Structure 1
Amino acid sequence: MDNQPSKHTSKKMVYLHIAEQGVVSKADLLSFINITTSTMNRLLEELIEENLIEESGLGPSKGGRKPILFQINPSYGYFFGLEISRFYSSLGLFDMQMNPKSFIRWRMDEDMTPEQFVKHVSQHIRSLLNDHRLEMKQVIGIGIGAVGPLDREKGIILKPLYFPAKGWTDISICSLMREATGIPSYLDNGANTALLGEHWAMRHEQLQHMLYVHAGVSLRSAMMSYGQIVHGTVDMEGSIGQMIIQTDGPRLQEQGNYGALEAFVSVQALEKQARSEAKMGRDELVSRYHAAPDKIQYDMLLRELSQDSPYALELFLRAARHFGIGLANLINVFHPETIILGGTLVNSHERFFQTAIEVAQKNTYYYPEYVPLFSKGLLKEDAVATGAALMVWKAMDI
C-alpha cells in the first residue's frame, strides 16, 4: 500500500516543516516526509521558483559534500493579526517567518463601536504598511481572534457580552474589514488563536495536547489535540464559564447557570462580591475611593492588590481557589501536557497564579504521577494576534 502523501500535500508539508525548523537540509526533509528523493528535488525546485523558499548557505559535512540549507523567504508576503477583546485590542504585522514587524495596542472604550473600530484598524494598517514601505497587495490576509460567540464560517461576531461600546451584535467583521482594506479576512475565537500562537512559540518542544484558559472579563478556553485545535459544532470558547462547581451557588447573569465558574472567577464576579460586602459594612473601598458600593470597579481592586491590601488579596485568592477547581475539572477530562493561563486575573498577582495551580494539582486525578506543566505562555498579551496571523499563514494555499 502506498502511504506517500499527494504532491499538493507533500509540497505544503515541506514548506511548513522548513518554516517550523527555520533552516533545514534536504536530508532533514527526507527523514520527515515519506517521499522519494526525485520528488523532493522537484518540490524544492518549485518552491524556489515560486519564491516561497530560498537557499541559506551550506550545512556541516557528514563525510561528503556540505548540504545545501533551505529557509522560507520571509518577504514573500505579510500578514496582519488582529485581536478584538473587551478591555484592549491589538494589531500586529508579521512576515512569513511569523516575526512581528510592529505591534499596536489600544483600549476599548465607549466610543469604540464596530464602525469606529474598523476605521481605526484600517488606518493603522495603512500606517504600518507605509512605515515598512510595503504595498497592500503584499498582504496575504488578516487573521482575527475575537471574543465569542462567533460564526467562524460566516465571519460574524454574534452576541458578545460586556463590550463598553454599543453595537457589537451580529457584526460581519470579516466583510467589514475586507471592504475597508481590500484584504481577505478570517475569523476564529481569541482563545483558539492564542493557543495557536503559544503552540507555535513552543514548537520546538513538540507539544501535542494543550489547554488554554483565559480568566478576565469572561472565562474563555481552547483545546489542542495532536497539534490541532479542537472545534465543536458551536463556538464553545466561553462555555468553561458555565461549568457548575457549586450546585446551590449564585449565578452571575440571568441567563447563566447557578453555581457556574464565572460567578466566582471573573472581573464581574469580583466586582459583584466587593460591592455586596461593601453594602454589608465592609467599607475600606468606599471610604478610600469615596465611591458608593455600586460604583466599586475592578481597577480599584487591582490597585488595592498592588498595595498589598489584605482584603483585596483574600478576594483574589478566593477566586483563585475556585479557578483551580475549574482547571482540575478540565484537566481530568482532557489530560493535556501543558496548560497556558492568561487574562487579567491570572496576571493580577503571582499568588493568584500559584494558588490556582496548587488547587488544580491537588484535585487532578493521577497526581503526582501525572503532572501537566502550567505556564503563562511565551507570547502572553501578544498571543491572540500572533495566533490569528498564524491561522491565515497555515491556511495559505501552497
Structure 2
Amino acid sequence: MQEPKTPRTPTVPSPEHVDSLATVLDLVRSGTARTRPEISRHSGLGRTVVTQRVNQLTECGLMEEGALGPSSGGRAPRELRFRARAGVILAAELGATSIGVGVTDLSGTVLAEREEAADIALGPDPVLDRVEILFDELLTEIRAEHGDVAVWGIGIGLPGPVEFATGRPSAPPIMPGWDGYPVRDRLTARFGAPVWVDNEVNTMALGELRAGSAKGQRDILYVKIGTGIGAGLVSGGRLHRGSQGCAGDIGHAAVNDEATVVCRCGNTGCLEAYAGGAALARDGLAAAQEGRSEFLAGVLESTGTVTAADISRAAQSGDRTSVELLTRAGRLIGSLLATLVSFYNPALVIIGGGVAAAGDLLLAAVRESVYRRSLPLATRELRIARSTLSDRAGLVGAAFMVIDELFAPERLAHWVAAGSPAGAPELVDVPLRAPLL
C-alpha cells in the first residue's frame, strides 16, 4: 500500500530571483518602464531574465499585456501594465477629532472614502468599532461595482506615538485608554489581512512623498499643525521613524520655561501647548471672555465656544487679536523648525493639518522665522509649502505604507506564487534586509 504524500511547503525563491522579480514589478508599477526592452534598459537585466520574470508575474496575475508600444525600428513591443485592481487596501487616518477611512487599489488610487467627526479620547473599542463598520460599508460599495476583490492589507494612522514593530500605541498623550492597545491584532482577527500601524504624521509624510508635493524629493520635513503638532521626517527617500517609532514628535519639545501652561502630556512649556489648535482655541476663548476681540465674543455668544477655525476666520476679517494669536503661533513653530532645518537640512518643508490650512497668515509667520533663524546654507534652496493633499495625506500615506511593505522583496517572496497576500497576516513578521520608508 502506498504511503500518503506529505504536503509540500511552497518553495520560497532565492533572494537573487526575488530581487530581479521585484525590480521588474517595481519598474512597471511605477510607470518607469512599460515594455520588456525598457525594463532591460532600466534594470540591467538580460532579455531572457526579463522575459522569465514578466511571464511569472503575468501568470500569477500581477501584470498583464496591453496595446503595442512605439517601435524603435523593429517589431513594436507589447506594453505591460500592473494589475492595480487585483486587490484592495483598507486605510484609515484617525485624528484627535475625526476619522477618515478609504479603500484604494494597489497603486494607491482612492476608490471610495468616508470622513466623519469622532473623539479619539473615547477609547479604542468604540473608535475602532466605527472604523470596522465604515470599512465594511466601503467594501460592500466597492464589491458591488468591481466584484469580489480581496483585501490585501490594512494601514492605520494614529494621532500619537506608535511602536511600529508591534502596531501598538505607546503612551499617546491625547489618547486615554490606547496605551499598548493591540490595534494590529484586533484588525487582523477581524479582516484576516496583514496590518501595519503608524503615527498619522508619518503616514501624511509618506502620502506627500508618494502622491503629493514631495514626489521625487529625498529629504523632506512634513509638519502637521492641528489639534496637536507633529512632524514626519524623510531622509534619503526613507521615512525616519527612530529606534522606537517616535521620531518627529516636535509638539512636546520645550519652547518656554514658564510653568503656568500645562500640556496634555503633563509637562510644561511644550510647543503644542502654545501653538497647537487646542492652544489657539483656549487663547481665543480667553480673548472673547475678556472682551479683547469683538469678533470672537460674538462667536462665543452664538455658539458657546471658540475654535481654532473661528480664530482663522476672525483673522481673515481683520480681527487684531486673532492676527496676533496666529502670528505668535507661527513664529513659535517657525523658531523650532529653524533649528530642525539647520540640523537636518531638508530640501522641502511641507505644512499640513487643519490649522495650517486656515490661511496664509500662520504660514507666512512660519516662513519668516525659519528663513531668519536658520543657517543661510540650509535655506539657500529650501522651499516651505502647504500640503497639496490636505486632508487626504494621511489616508493616502496609510495605503502606500501597506503597498510598500507588501511589495518588499522579502515579503513578495512569500506570496508571489499564490498571486495574492490576502489571508496572510503573518507577512508582517517577515524580516526585511533593509528598512523601508
Which amino acid letter does the alignment assign opposite residue 117 of structure 2? R
Which stretch shifts more, 238-247 or 340-349? 238-247
Structure 2 matches for 1:56-205, cutoff 5 A?
56-109=66-119, 112-133=122-143, 138-163=150-175, 167-202=177-212, 205=215
Give 1:7's aligned residue.
17
- Cross-structure match for 2:400: 390
TM-score of the pair, normalised by structure 1: 0.88
Cα distance change, pair 374–30 in 1 and its aligned pair in 2 (3 A): farther
* 2:346 corresponds to 1:332: no
Residues of 2 paired with 1:394 and 1:342: CA distance? 23
Task: Give the Å deviation of 1:12.
Answer: 1.3
Following superposition, the deviation at residue 175 of structure 1 comes to 1.6
CA 1:223/1:90 → structure 2, altered by over 3 Å: closer, same or farther? Answer: same
Could you tell me which amino acid in structure 1 is paired with residue 112 of structure 2? Answer: S
How far apart are the structure 1 equivalents of 2:355 and 2:278?
Answer: 11
Which residue in the other structure is 1:310 paired with? 320
> Is the CA contact (8 Å cut-off) linking 1:87 and 1:107 kept in structure 2?
yes
| 1:132–1:169 distance in 2 versus 1, CA, 3 Å | same
TM-score, normalization: structure 2?
0.81
Give the unaligned 5+ runs of structure 2.
1-14, 413-437
Change in Cα spacing, 1:365 to 1:63, as seen in structure 2 (3 Å) is same
Matches within 5 A, 1:315-394: 315-367=325-377, 370-394=380-404
Residue-by-residue CA offset, 1:372-395 (whole Å, 9 max, x unaligned):
222223322111111111111111
Offset, 1:52: 0.4
> In angstroms, what is the RMSD of aligned CA positions?
2.9
User: CA shift at 1:10, angstroms?
Assistant: 1.9
**Aligned-pair distance for 1:180?**
2.9
Say which SS state the counterpart of residue 190 (structure 2) adopts. Answer: helix
TM-superposed deviation, 1:282: 3.0
Q: Give the match's secondary structure for 1:183.
A: coil
Q: Distance in 2 between matches of 1:115 and 1:255?
A: 22
Q: 1:26-41 alignment to 2 at 5 Å? A: 26-41=36-51
Question: What does the per-residue CA deviation read over 1:249-298, in whole Å, with 9 as the maximum and x for residues that have no partner?
Answer: 8654275655432233212322343455567663646742456xx96543
Question: Distance in 2 between the 1:347 and 1:204 partners?
Answer: 17
Find the partner of 2:232 among 215, 219, 222: 222
Shift of 1:48: 0.7
CA contact (8 A) 2:208 2:393 kept: yes
Contact 1:162 1:217 in 2 (8 A): no
The residue aligned with 2:263 is: 253
Distance 1:349 1:250, change over 3 A: farther
- How much does 1:335 deviate? 1.1
Alignment coverage as a number of residue pairs: 391
**Counterpart in the other structure of 2:428:** none
Q: 1:123 to 1:82 in 2, by over 3 A?
A: same
Query: CA–CA distance in 2 between the matches of 1:237 and 1:217?
Result: 19
**Structure 1 residues 323 and 68, CA, compared in 2 at 3 Å: closer, same or farther?**
same
Once the two structures are TM-superposed, the CA of residue 371 in structure 1 deviates from its matched residue by 2.1
8 A Cα contact 2:89 2:402, kept in partner: yes
Partner secondary structure for residue 162 of structure 1: coil
**How high is the sequence identity, in percent, across the aligned residues?**
24
Flag the 1:190–1:370 CA change in 2: closer, same or farther, 3 A: same
Task: Encode CA deviations 1:211-251: one digit per residue, 9 max, x unaligned.
Answer: 11111111111111121111211232552123334456865
**Alignment-mate amino acid for residue 79 of structure 2:** L
5+ residue gaps, structure 1, are none
- Give the drift of 1:307: 3.6
* Contact 1:357 1:374 (8 Å CA) reproduced: yes
- TM superposition shift of 1:29: 1.9
